[in-house]
Structures are given as C-alpha cells and as structure tokens.
Amino acid sequence: MKKFKVSVAALLIGASVMLTSSCIGSFSLFNKVLDWNKKATNEKWVNELIFVCLGVVPVYEVSLFLDVILFNSLEFWTGKSPIASVDATVKGEKGEYHVKSTANGYHIELLGSNASADFLFDEATKTWSVSENGKSTKLVRFVDDNTAKFYFGASEMTVNMESTLNLLAAR
C-alpha cells in the first residue's frame, strides 16, 4: 500500500510539473547548494562527506523539489528566476573580475583597479547595453522570439534565428 501511495504521489508531481511549467528550468536553488558543497572545503573527502550528509538529511532532495515545483515554474511564467543571482570572482586574461547581479543586469569590476562596467537589460525595449564611465552603448535588442538586432558602433545586423538554424541544418 505504501509503494502505491509513493507511486501515485510521484505520478501527480510529475504530471503537475508537465502541466504547469513545460520547461526544464535552471534549477538555481539545487545548483547553489551543489556549488556551495563543491567549495565548502579544500578537501575532496570532506566535501564528499558533506554531500552524503546533505543527501541523507535531505537538503538536496528538498532543494530539488522546491526547484521543480515552485522556482522553475515561477521562472517559466515570469521569465526570471527568483533564486538565480550571481556574485562570483572569475579569472580572465587581464586578471580577476568580480561579477554581481543587479536588479536589471550585471556589474563587472576588474579587481585591483578602478575599471568596471554594467551590463543592463531594458525590459521595455528588450535591449542589452553596456555602460562604462557614464557612456551607454547598445549591444543587442530582441525584436521578437526569432529575431535579434546586434549593434556594432554605427552599424547593426539583424539576425533571424530560425533562418540561421535552417541554413546550418542544410549544411
């Protein structure tokens, strides 16, 4: 009888996910827990022990459940993940960069210098731009689901993704 209840519960959860979100989602909460676990210590065996404990306790299971049922569905319907945010240091060719999410984009700063830039998304015009030293430059505007307009200084290029994919598939 208990197996039957678990099977029915799993079936109902699966059906509700399929009917409410119809997308896979980014699994931000689960991935944040996993990323934290990977960097918890410098010892891989201690991290493995933490991983097992978080699996038994059931931190991973709860975070996955919340992502599947709640956060991924919210991400699908609103277009934004309520969990996803970035606050990380990334190594680049010119040094280390600190990348942090903002309300409408990302702030990127070259560590050890005063150099920084903001990548901003304007929801009204569906345009990404970069702002540096008070000067804003448009990068790309999403015209519709299949068309994007890329800006290169004074020139621009319109790309239809469906046509581009068809051309690539024909090769």
Given a cut of 60, whether residue 169 has pLDDT beyond it is yes
- The pLDDT assigned to 65 comes to 81
**pLDDT score recorded for residue 19:** 44
Overall average pLDDT of the 144-166 stretch:
78
Domain ranges within the chain, ordered by starting residue: 2-78, 87-170
Over the stretch 41-96, which tens digit does the pLDDT of each residue have?
Answer: 888 888 888 888 778 777 778 788 877 877 777 777 777 776 667 677 878 778 88
What pLDDT, on a 0 to 100 scale, did the predictor assign at position 11?
Answer: 47
Own/partner long-range contacts of 62-66 (Cβ < 8 Å, ≥24 apart): 63/29, 63/30, 63/32, 63/33, 64/27, 64/30, 66/29
Give pLDDT, residue 171.
Answer: 61
